[in-house]
A and B are shown apart, each in its own frame.
Chain A
């Protein structure tokens, strides 16, 4: 199977280029396995990966034009030649490794932690199964960055727009029956950029390898803000 891979080493290359590789594929092979085969022959080729089963979020890549995780993408679902690029819109460090600093900065900016003001009880907070269910589809995010780096609004305004991953996390806490910071969270999202740069293009939802729906979460936040201001 033919792969065409984005290569760039800032120490030796003036500019990025594509290099073609031929890989003998076997039944059940994942893209990560193919990239590892390439790396076994060419150890100068760099990409991030770790768990191999889609939970650590290390190996987000642009695969034939669509963002996804290499370890859960079966090669037999891809058309040849398979073009592999780093996640779009982020500065490239080397080959398929991008600088995700801005992505993490936006994540931290939404205060992605439970805020409770009341004194803590000795036991667990009670949460009904129905309230807990509201967190499904939100808490499973693995911060791979596939969504935010597929979002045109994030490409244009990565410093000002939080991006889908961070906003999904924001809603994860807004939706948590235990959290007591709804007002501050919503207030902090006001203004034209942080939240409202989302134009419901839905690239994020299409890209998410965990089948989460950031667009819907963002819509829910917008509704909460509207409701609060009326």
Chain B
């Protein structure tokens, strides 16, 4: 498929949004409603984006059930993130939350309801009233299908707003001109295999996370971190990639997510002795401690011989005391998932669970307007003109070293909207498209051509399986110097072998093998970013747990990591400790 960059068809839009999950669709909606000409490119039909799989809910201090306050939400988020989150962005998010959840409701999201007709809210992990006091109930839910409800509503609103969709187009790379301004992207129509250049005055990456890095994960096949890898290839670093969330309750050995809402509704974990072991690890919050805390507890129970089952390799999540009514009303989808994959009914039997790779806290560094920022000269945070990122692929950072449940759906609507608003401002200033340059397009064509020359070598599927196993073995819940150093070597070796991998199918029409080869290139870059950053960070903070450095080290490590693809170099920048209006929350010991 040898083509020249000058021959590629071109389309022009004001704004280009890459990714049609909640972040991309919320941004697109903001833009379309402001009469901007906006294109959304997605490698799957929009409602198949992974936001659809979010279960438990979206956090907002609506105080519909118990007293609540955005300021308490802010404290919980900072503490949950183990003081690595940027406090200005966190204040912005928590203050915006109630308004944006109401806005979602107005746009049709079928939230569950309280008797007074208001939005139903459930308790979730890491939530407190009054800065660390009693358990809060902050998570607004549509049964246990909140992501589905929000994603479908956002897509529907975009239909009404006449957003332009490029469904089943795979984004290959960003185009940056000589000044470094992002001026669009090269994409491939999956159905025909044909390339297209989309020119835009602003480009937003909203491509989601990279859960496919790990063998056992809760993520969809599409979660290969494409936007993060595009940023890396465009010379932009990735921030805080060592912080990967392992959800405490994936179905053991399989990985399907069982929402934290199951514990929010009153479920709890037991070991083989039937002991509610979380009481030992988190005396106050117990089963609703932060996810990193619960995942480590489960891992430790199993490691110390208190795991359940013939192999002692999992613990049990008990819901059978909740009664059929509660499960039917509040947790119908996970009940069906458990029935489908385990042939048992949580109404009567406990569920085998184990920590499972779930969420990429790190990502493309942005400020709270969604603008991509990177160090230039002496300034740690210069904006990359024309380029934005939002959602799981971005690192604002609101989640710091560990995300709270219910904050990811919030992140995507808050910062999708913020990015949309900032782009609207940019469009007002910038009337015309910048001249197109073909250098970055040529590079994409070279990369594609390389695959067309290869018909023998190792298989993509084999290499991908090996990579996922290495990441699981070397960069999991607990990490050591030895494991990480060896892991880095192994991933570097895999990256080398990928150069000689084969693609046997060179057809044009709906060639899934080609897409998977390109996705593996993306995953490989992100694996390196993750494990190299993890190897360097010699402390334990949030989801990054080092057995050889068990304490948080605020003196040396209260800083964000930045990983660059070229030379696999690391840089660091300070955490933004100053909120927008309130006092800073200084780091404290993190106890639940």
Binding site for B on A (CB under 8 A): 9-12, 28, 39-40, 43-44, 46-58, 72, 74, 93-95, 97, 99-100, 104, 108, 111-114, 116, 120, 122-129, 131-132, 135, 139-140, 142-143, 173, 176, 178
Nearest A residue (CB) for B193: A11
Q: How far is the CA of A143 from the CA of B191 in the complex (A)?
A: 19
Q: By the criterion CB–CB under 8 Å, are B509 and A10 in contact?
A: yes
Q: Is B504 an interface residue (CB 8 A)?
A: yes
In the bound complex, do residue A50 and residue B221 qualify as a contact, i.e. CB atoms below 8 Å apart?
yes
Does B256 belong to the interface (CB within 8 Å)? yes
User: Contact: B220 with A52, CB < 8 Å?
Assistant: yes
Q: Is the CB of B108 within 8 A of A56?
A: no
Beta-carbon nearest neighbor of A139 in chain B:
B110
- A209 to B: closest C-beta gap in Å: 10
Once the chains bind, are B191 and A126 in contact (CB under 8 Å)?
Answer: no
Of the A-B pairs whose beta carbons lie under 8 Å apart in the complex, a sample of 11, sorted by A's number, is A28-B254, A40-B461, A50-B220, A54-B337, A56-B47, A93-B191, A113-B153, A128-B113, A129-B117, A132-B112, A139-B110
Q: Is the CB of B44 within 8 A of A93?
A: no
- State whether A114 and B220 are in contact (beta carbons under 8 Å apart), knowing that A58-B44, A126-B116 are contacts in the complex: no
Tell whether, in the assembled complex, residue B53 and residue A51 are in contact, meaning their CB atoms are under 8 Å apart: yes
The answer, among B53, B119, B341, B505, for a CB contact under 8 Å with A55, is B53
What is the CB-to-nearest-CB distance from B141 to chain A, in angstroms, rounded to a whole number?
12
Can you name the residue of chain A whose Cβ is closest to the Cβ of B465?
A40
Known: A48-B44, A54-B340, A140-B148. 20 other contacts (CB 8 A): A11-B508, A43-B512, A50-B48, A51-B220, A52-B220, A53-B53, A56-B47, A58-B44, A113-B108, A113-B160, A114-B153, A120-B106, A126-B118, A131-B113, A135-B110, A139-B110, A139-B142, A140-B145, A142-B52, A178-B108
- Whether B108 and A124, one on each chain, are in contact in the complex, defined by CB atoms closer than 8 angstroms, is no
Question: In the assembled complex, which residues on chain B have CB atoms less than 8 Å from the CB atom of A93?
Answer: 191, 509-510
Contacting residues, chain A, for B440 (C-beta < 8 A): none
Q: Measured between C-beta atoms, what is the minimum distance from A148 to chain B in Å?
A: 14
Task: Say whether B511 faces chain A, with CB atoms less than 8 Å apart.
Answer: yes
9 A-B pairs with least C-beta separation: A126-B117, A114-B108, A43-B513, A113-B156, A56-B48, A51-B220, A94-B510, A124-B105, A50-B220
Measured between beta carbons, the chain B residues less than 8 angstroms from A178 are 108
Which residue of chain B has its CB nearest to the CB of A12? B507
Q: Which residues of A contact B337 (CB under 8 A)?
A: 53-54
Give residues in B with beta carbon < 8 Å to A.
44-45, 47-50, 52-53, 101-102, 105-108, 110-119, 142, 145, 148-149, 152-153, 156-157, 159-160, 191, 220-222, 254, 256-257, 333, 336-337, 340-341, 459-461, 503-505, 507-513, 516
Please tell me if the beta carbons of A53 and B509 are within 8 angstroms of each other in the complex: no
In the complex formed, the residue of B with least CB distance to A130 is: B113
Say yes or no: B48 contacts A57, CB within 8 Å: yes
Cα distance, A108 to B503, chains bound together (Å): 38
B97 to chain A, nearest CB (A): 13
Contacting residues, chain A, for B461 (C-beta < 8 A)? 39-40, 43
CB–CB A143/B110 < 8 A: no
Known A12-B507, A113-B156, A126-B116; contact A57-B47, beta-carbon cutoff 8 A: yes
A116 to B106, Cβ gap below 8 A?
A: yes
Q: How many A-B residue pairs have CB under 8 A?
A: 150
A43→B505 contact, CB < 8 A: yes
- CB nearest to B192 among chain A residues: A93
- Known: A55-B148, A122-B102. Contact between A50 and B44, CB under 8 A? yes
Specify the chain B residue showing the minimal Cβ separation from A57.
B48
Q: A53-B256, A127-B117 are in contact. Are A114 and B107 (CB under 8 A)?
A: yes
With the chains together, A120 CA to B560 CA distance in Å?
Answer: 41
Q: How far is the CA of A120 from the CA of B108 in the complex (A)?
A: 12
A140 to B146, CA, bound (A): 10
Q: In the complex, what residues of B have CB within 8 A of residue A95's CB? A: 510
Contact of A124 among B119, B153, B191 (CB under 8 A): B119
Among B48, B142, B513, the most chain A Cβ lie within 10 Å of the Cβ of B48
> Which of A44, A56, A57 contacts B504, CB < 8 Å?
A44
Query: Is A123 within 8 A of B102, CB to CB?
Result: yes
**B118 touching A124 by the CB < 8 A rule?**
yes
Q: In chain A, what residue has the closest Cβ to B251?
A: A53
Which of A51, A94, A140: most chain B CB closer than 10 A? A51
| CB pair B159 A108 closer than 8 Å | yes
| Beta-carbon nearest neighbor of A99 in chain B | B191
How far is B105's CA from A29's CA once the two chains are assembled, in angstroms? 39
CA distance A47 to B510 in the complex (A): 9
Report the nearest B residue to A72, measured CB to CB: B340
Query: Interface centre among B105, B149, B509, by most A CB within 10 Å?
Result: B509
Q: Which residues of chain B come closer than 8 Å to A49, judged between CB atoms?
A: 221
Contact (Cβ within 8 A) A142 B507 = no
Closest beta carbon of chain A to B456's beta carbon, Å: 13
CA distance in complex: A94, B192 (Å): 10
Determine whether the beta carbon of B53 is less than 8 Å from that of A43: no
Contacts of B112 on A, CB cut-off 8 Å? 129, 132
A112 touches B156 (CB 8 A): yes
Given A10-B509, A139-B110, check contact A100 B47 (CB 8 Å).
no
